[in-house]
Amino acid sequence: MIGGPARALAVLAFAAAVQTAAAGDRFVPNDPAFVVANIRQVMPDEKLRALVGAWRAEPAAEGPALALAGTLLERARTAREPSYVGRAEAVLSAVVSKGGAGLATRRLYAETLQYRHDFATAETLLDEVLRAAPRDAAARAQRASVRLVRGDFPGARADCAQLAAGGGTASAIGIACLAEAYAGSGRIEQAQALLQAYPLDQDAASTAERAYLLTVRAELRERAQDLDGAIADYGAAFELQRGDDSIRAALADALAARGDVHGAAALLDVERPSLALLVRGVSVTAGTRRDALRERATAWLALERARGDAVHNREAALLALDTGDAAAALAAALANFAVQRELPDVRVLARAAVAAHDLPAQRQLREWLRSTGFRDVVAENILSGAARG
């Protein structure tokens, strides 16, 4: 979900990393099962070949670039193949950098920037879109999402309120993200009341919108330590959107927190898991399976560093905590918290700061919780336990 300089096509990323690294520093996976690039997944089929052909015929034209990038991003989501995002970014960057790109093109480009966690540039781009088209609901929802991730709850609340008031298909998204924004500012009861007043089976809401509403409600319950209620809602959302790895990961986290590590492990056992799923798998498996997952996750992070594209600091922190490297965990958690401040980011920073016995980091997190009003029983218990110790 992230600008800066546009990346080269992802199919060339690994080769570029090898060319720029010294021979002794080249990345070589220790695990023979580690996948550097899934060629079967990235080879174009007939539809993609047609779109690539149209784009190559007019590489400076916006229409072919937009059609190709949209399909590439959809493939990235359905195939869990991140190289598609890099390719989409490269295609769109050539159009956006010239200036004068259309609103849909700039929105889609912002999505590629979000995926790289370049949230600041994505938000700036969406600001431009909304200045030109204040009633663009898609851009407003996208900016609200960016602001929620960055912990800008007042800014998100303004965008969400406009979506909720706009009616139509955007209202469900607006209600859910308004609840998220309220909760981020400590108004959890108001957020819960807002969701309770909105019928989840409303015909106007799509499957994806109902899943989002359920996921927001689940997180509010999780933050209040109502794990059974959270799991019920995460599970219902997952049944609606089984291809959404963020819901899968949240459900696995909640199952593991309740002690159901076997259920969590089964949920995470998928073909071509993302790094987020791999790292979570490490924490709920044992023996050779655990070792293999840890090796794959470590190799993935090493590949990101070799490419100069290490954006998965949350996962790096979780993996370091699992291996007992508190200093590395804290460094990654702090780097992660500088750009994204969702519930898992708050919790991993709390864990890392306490594990490293780092009082300044603990104070920093406490101050952020106090200033925003963000409430989470788990993070608060971690920090209060350290204070008592």
As given in the structure block, the two tokens for residue 75 are 């493939």
For the cut 50, the answer to whether the pLDDT of residue 2 exceeds it is no
**Calpha distance 18→306 (Å, rounded):** 8
For the cut 50, the answer to whether the pLDDT of residue 24 exceeds it is no
For the cut 90, the answer to whether the pLDDT of residue 34 exceeds it is no
**Cβ atoms of 332 and 320 closer than 8 Å:** yes
**Calpha distance 88→65 (Å, rounded):** 8
**Residue 237, pLDDT score:** 95
Closest by Cα among 210, 143, 134 to 171: 210
The predicted model gives 325-341 an average pLDDT of: 97
Q: Lowest mean pLDDT of 17-21, 244-248, 316-320, name the range.
A: 17-21
As given in the structure block, the two tokens for residue 121 are 């540039």
**Calpha distance 59→198 (Å, rounded):** 46
Residue 199: count of CB within 10 angstroms of its CB: 12
**Residue 28, pLDDT score:** 43
pLDDT tens profile 228-263: 999 999 999 999 999 899 999 999 999 999 999 999
**Cβ atoms of 11 and 89 closer than 8 Å:** no
pLDDT tens profile 158-186: 999 999 998 776 788 899 999 999 999 99
The predicted model gives 199-224 an average pLDDT of: 84
Would you place residue 226 in the very low, low, confident or very high pLDDT band (cuts 50, 70, 90)? Answer: very high
Would you place residue 203 in the very low, low, confident or very high pLDDT band (cuts 50, 70, 90)? Answer: low
For the cut 60, the answer to whether the pLDDT of residue 35 exceeds it is no
Would you place residue 81 in the very low, low, confident or very high pLDDT band (cuts 50, 70, 90)? Answer: confident
Would you place residue 1 in the very low, low, confident or very high pLDDT band (cuts 50, 70, 90)? Answer: very low
State the maximum Cα–Cα separation within the chain, in Å, rounded to a whole number. 67
Average pLDDT, the chain: 86
**Residue 25, pLDDT score:** 36
User: Who has greater pLDDT, 280 or 224?
Assistant: 280
pLDDT tens profile 123-149: 999 999 999 999 999 999 999 999 999
**Residue 80, pLDDT score:** 79
Closest by Cα among 47, 70, 68 to 57: 68
